[in-house]
Structure 1
Amino acid sequence: MRNEPTWRIPVGLLGLLFALAVYGLVIARYVPEVIGTWPTLLQTLVYVALGLAWLLALRRFLIWMETGRWG
């Protein structure tokens, strides 16, 4: 546990918010054109998968914010 604040936490938080905004805009812009004619249940599964996909990178990102290392 660290005793003093580090620059990685606010920078990481801003970077995370920016990346999620860009990811969300890209998904909202391009995915409906591709899957718009699919059945509703299949569309739901795709959006759930895309909504959870960003979590795959989140663990390593949070580790970097806390320790400064990626692994």
Structure 2
Amino acid sequence: MNPSWRKPFGMLAILMLIVVWVVIVASFSAIVWNWHWLAQLVFYIVTGLIWIAPLKPMLSWMETGKWRSW
């Protein structure tokens, strides 16, 4: 069984996704800083969870070579 190039590429893509997402969210910090603390909490919880959405198809592609597992 030959090792697949998809897994190392996928891991790098996931790391890049995380870095880009952190930069995007951090760029809003000057705006979010003025919000009420509860609004800040909601913002950071939502943005902290949104980046997970593309992981399922990415992990499926890494394992099977297909973007959908079905």
Calculate the TM-score normalised by the size of structure 1. 0.86
Query: What is residue 62 of structure 1 aligned with on the other side?
Result: 59
SS of 1:56's equivalent? coil
Equivalent residues in 2 for 1:1-71 (5 A)?
Answer: 3-29=1-27, 31-71=28-68
Partner AA of 2:21 in structure 1: Y
**Runs (5+) with no aligned partner, structure 2:** none
Coordinate RMSD, CA, aligned = 1.2
Higher percent of residues as helix: 1
How far apart, in 2, do the equivalents of 1:24 and 1:68 lie? 27
Identity of aligned residues (%): 35
Calculate the TM-score normalised by the size of structure 2. 0.87
Partner AA of 1:34 in structure 2: I
